[in-house]
Amino acid sequence: MKITTASVNVCSPGRNFTTLKIETDEGIYGLGDGTLNGRELAVVSYLREHLIPCLIGRDPFQIEDIWQYLYRGAYWRRGPVTMSAIGAVDMALWDIKGKALNTPAYNLLGGKSRNGVLVYAHANGADIEQTIDAVARQIDLGYLAVRAQSGIPGLASTYGVAKGNKPYEPAERGLPSESLWSTEKYLRHVPELFERARQQFGEDIHLLHDCHHRLTPIEAARLGKELEPYHLFWIEDPVPAELQEGFRVIRQHTTTPLATGEALNTIWDAQELIREQWIDYIRMTLVHAGGFTHLKKIADFAALFHVRTGCHGATDLSPISMGAALHFGLAIHNFGIQEHMPHSAETDAVFPHQYSFDAGYMYPGDAPGLGVEIDETLAAKYPYQRAYLPINRKMDGTLFDW
Ligand code: CS2
Ligand code: MG
């Protein structure tokens, strides 16, 4: 089998998605997600101008060799654009292999290690009571794990909280919006949220929280300690993870489990975090961490140090990534949990898929390959529209982490 052509589709059914399609001389094609929220066209150009010419004529079954060719052959290694482009190629090659062998991708990863993939939902509200109501709604839908994000008294907006009744979508069209942040207000507020949540829901529901890179290590240590009575499943991205050793400080002070990785893209970005057991869950995703070929290596390395996966799964990862993540989560042994933000109806129409949700778990389905398609005719009705993630500033105007 030979790769004959490849193309990149950029569409925007409610939000921007980048999709790679690799076609072969046997009529089998594969799809890969290359979406990088707020920098989509950088990945499009990397694929169209630099990777696709190198793929034509290659045997799509040589997935490892192609991965190494694209990673080492670039000379300039790592980074979100490079690894998202390689991730799109890798996902498409595994899709092709599954279709050619007439088997779902999870069978290429060692087969089922569990019956279903435990997922967590998002719940958010302008204040604690609205957030509690939102958690209750997700529990009513059958979720066994819910991430709770609440508006902060005194702040006009904050990460993870939708405006009005619209679903939460951080990327906004036009230039980046700006919001003001107060760590002090945040740290005073979050323990109240989870005290209330445990009072309302008891201990049987997994509760999660995303700090979204906004604390210093000692601030995160304080929050982790204050949340210990509420037994969170994890606090996520407590600090920006460039300084892996920052997690040592947090770890010394609290038993609240720690998760990070959605903004990381190779094992080198997290190997100290994992080796030192400074985290409990690694959240790198198939699209941003170079696809199955690299993320499997990361998961296997993490397994040596009691670290489990908790892959990112926000709506800025396309249904192709969601489907692929469910194959991955069904197969690998040290799976922890999978994030699930349901896409919009218009997105699901552009990306018909096999995966499904039932009673807190998701299932990738048994279609060969990834089990996700793209309706290119429908996609064409939603042209790309530049959008940016917000900018965050401290109350004194200092640019901060969003
Ligand atoms: C968040 C994401 O889902 C999460 O955990 O951190 O919503 C993140 O903000 C977006 O994926 C960024 O594009
Ligand atoms: Mg996050």
Residue-wise pLDDT for 159-202, tens only, equals: 999 987 788 888 999 899 999 999 999 999 999 999 999 999 99
pLDDT tens for residues 243-262? Answer: 999 999 999 999 999 999 99
CATH class of 108-369: alpha beta
Catalytic residue among 206, 212, 294, 343: 212
The conformational region for residue 81 under phi > 0 = left, psi -120 to 50 = alpha, else beta, is alpha
Whether 212 sits among the annotated catalytic residues: the reply is: yes
Write out the residues surrounding ion ligand 2, Cβ under 5 A.
210
Ligand 1: centre distance to CA 103 (Å): 31
Degrees, nearest 5: CA angle 27-28-32: 135
Q: Check whether 363 has a pLDDT greater than 90.
A: yes
Catalytic residue among 29, 71, 106, 159: 159
> Of all residues in the chain, what percent carry a pLDDT higher than 90?
97
| Ligand 1 atom with least separation from CA of 159 | 9
Homologous superfamily, domain 3-104: Enolase-like, N-terminal domain (3.30.390.10)
Ligand 1: centre distance to CA 342 (Å): 13
Q: Could you tell me the CA-to-CA distances from 237 to 217, 300, 402 in Å, in that order?
A: 11, 22, 11
Q: Check whether 151 has a pLDDT greater than 90.
A: yes
The conformational region for residue 32 under phi > 0 = left, psi -120 to 50 = alpha, else beta, is beta
- What are the sequence ranges of the domains in the chain? 3-104, 108-369
Coil, strand or helix at 401: coil
Q: Check whether 329 has a pLDDT greater than 90.
A: yes
First to last CA, the chain: 45
d(CA 212, CA 148): 13
Mean pLDDT of 60-77: 98
Ligand 1: centre distance to CA 314 (Å): 6
Point out the ligand nearest to the CA of residue 341: 1
- Label the pairing between strands 17-24 and 3-11: antiparallel
Sheet holding 17-24, edge to edge: 3-11, 17-24, 29-33
Q: Check whether 334 has a pLDDT greater than 90.
A: yes
pLDDT band, very low/low/confident/very high, at 97 (cuts 50, 70, 90): very high
40 lines ligand 1 (CB under 6 A): no
User: Which residue CA neighbors atom 6 of ligand 1 most closely?
Assistant: 212
Ligand 2: centre distance to CA 389 (Å): 13
339 lines ligand 1 (CB under 6 A): yes
pLDDT tens for residues 383-392? Answer: 999 999 999 9
The conformational region for residue 34 under phi > 0 = left, psi -120 to 50 = alpha, else beta, is alpha
| Ligand 1 atom with least separation from CA of 341 | 3
Point out the ligand nearest to the CA of residue 15: 1
Point out the ligand nearest to the CA of residue 170: 1
d(CA 395, CA 397): 5
d(CA 328, CA 105): 8
DSSP element (H, E) containing 339: strand 338-339
Degrees, nearest 5: CA angle 14-16-152: 70
The reported pLDDT for the residue numbered 234 is 99
Whether 159 sits among the annotated catalytic residues: the reply is: yes
90 lines ligand 1 (CB under 6 A): no
Question: Taken in order 203, 119, 267, 15, is the CA torsion positive or negative?
Answer: negative
- Phi and psi dihedrals of 393, rounded to 5? -125, 150
